[in-house]
């Protein structure tokens, strides 16, 4: 990673609260942190490494580092042996949780809800009949509060409004969407032969019918995360990639199997009506800040107008893109750091995925967790 001089330095603002409690910042998977003000165009060229820690490694494990989450002054990072928690400000170890069987636990997806760290993962030794599991750990102590197994693997998970929703299927398990109460793991509702991509718009999920084995079967429904009640339905499969920070739009993919035939579509979250369609713009790498929708594909990053889907700018990078992250007026997508407003270069290359919060950039590089700050 190279960090070179950027825009002229500006006075640092008060350090904002450290919060990034879902893999995509929020349950909307917007990948937009509106609270960040310290790491910006004026300070991106002055970043230095504040601390780094080596994550635990084992050649026998099938788990590993995932996107870390940050809450309550702690950063939670998975490793080959389980989950480790560090002080976000200084990198000091708080606690560790070890997988019961490190050789049969894959890499988790994590989120924080009401004092609990929810980790969703599964086994890794069965190809024909894999299982999933949910583990809830006390964020202060790391002690397990509850855990449960799932006959189906967990292909997607979202945590919102005190509810954990999982979805998955395998050759031996039909598609299903299942909701559990985050506080104690009690099942709240279950919808067989449905799938979801794990995006919540202020407690509303999009789930689509399947044949039971991953093939869409002609209908999408918006349901309440708490009870599974249907708000609206529409024909076709409309898997959500993200929702707007205000939760008034779902950004979904639609169309044929060919990338050129697939579109990025904005749906009204309240009614399911199509707001706009950007033909050929489907992407799983989406971020949204309310004014712009950022999509990444290949080596290009593009910003679309959130109101009408029209292109505002496009920038070619010198490397393959990763999931875009928007914070502090900047856009991170794996190459040169860009100004979010116009796509111009604001700083030099910051490779890989990042978590930007609390005046710091957190990143896992190989098996090392690193924090940078001006």
Domain boundaries, the chain: 32-373
Instruction: Calculate mean pLDDT across residues 343-353.
Output: 92
Lowest-pLDDT range of 97-111, 118-132, 258-272: 118-132
Residue-wise pLDDT tens digits, 140-195: 999 999 999 999 999 999 999 999 999 998 888 899 999 999 999 999 999 999 99
Q: Does 32-373 carry CATH code 2.40.180.10?
A: no
What is the DSSP code (8-state) at residue 259? G
More confident residue, 129 or 328: 328
pLDDT at 121: 92
Q: Is 44 left (phi over 0), alpha (psi -120 to 50) or beta?
A: alpha
Mean pLDDT of 297-315: 97
pLDDT reported for residue 260: 67
| Rounded Cα gap, residues 13 and 23, in angstroms | 25
Q: What percent of the chain shows pLDDT beyond 70? A: 94
**Can you read off the two tokens belonging to residue 217?**
């079967």
Q: What is the pLDDT of residue 16?
A: 62
> Per-residue DSSP letters for 154-223?
-SEEEEETTEEEEEEEETTEEEEEEEEETTT--EEEEEETEEEEEEESSSEEEEEEESSSS-EEEEEEEE
Encode pLDDT of 207-257 as tens digits: 999 998 888 888 999 999 999 999 999 999 999 999 999 999 999 998 767
**Tens digits of residue pLDDT in 4-26:** 333 333 334 455 678 999 999 99
CA distance 124 to 165: 21
């Amino acid at each position: 990673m190279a960090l070179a001089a950027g825009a002229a330095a500006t006075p640092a603002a008060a350090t904002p609260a450290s919060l990034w409690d879902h893999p995509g910042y929020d349950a909307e998977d917007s990948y937009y942190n509106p609270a960040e003000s310290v790491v910006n165009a004026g300070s991106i060229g002055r970043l230095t490494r504040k601390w780094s820690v080596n994550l635990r490694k084992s050649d026998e494990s099938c788990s590993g580092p995932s996107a870390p989450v940050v809450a309550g002054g702690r950063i939670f990072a998975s490793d080959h042996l389980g989950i480790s928690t560090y002080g976000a400000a200084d990198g000091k170890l708080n606690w560790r949780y070890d997988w019961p069987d490190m050789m049969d636990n894959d890499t988790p997806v994590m989120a924080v809800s009401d004092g609990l760290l929810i980790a969703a993962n599964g086994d890794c030794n069965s190809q024909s009949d894999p299982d999933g599991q949910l583990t809830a750990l006390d964020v202060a102590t790391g002690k397990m509060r509850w855990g449960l197994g799932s006959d189906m693997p967990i292909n997607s998970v979202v945590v919102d409004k005190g509810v954990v929703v999982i979805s998955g299927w395998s050759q031996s398990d039909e598609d299903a969407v299942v909701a559990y109460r985050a506080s104690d793991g009690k099942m709240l509702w279950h919808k067989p032969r449905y799938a979801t991509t794990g995006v919540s718009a202020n407690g509303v999920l999009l789930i689509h019918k399947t044949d039971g084995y991953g093939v869409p079967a002609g209908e999408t429904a918006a349901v309440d995360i708490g009870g599974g009640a249907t708000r609206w339905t529409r024909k076709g499969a409309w898997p959500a990639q993200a929702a707007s920070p205000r939760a008034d739009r779902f950004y979904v993919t639609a169309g044929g199997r060919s990338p050129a035939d697939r579109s990025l579509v904005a749906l009204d979250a309240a009614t399911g009506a199509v707001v706009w369609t950007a033909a050929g713009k489907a992407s799983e790498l989406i971020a949204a800040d309310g004014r712009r929708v950022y999509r990444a594909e290949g080596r290009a990053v593009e910003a679309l107008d959130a109101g009408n889907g029209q292109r505002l700018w496009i920038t070619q990078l010198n490397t393959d893109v990763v999931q875009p992250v928007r914070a502090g007026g900047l856009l991170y997508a794996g190459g040169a750091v860009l100004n979010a407003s116009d796509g111009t270069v604001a700083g030099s290359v910051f490779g890989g995925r990042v978590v930007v919060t609390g005046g710091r950039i957190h990143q896992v590089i190989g098996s090392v967790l690193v924090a940078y700050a001006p």
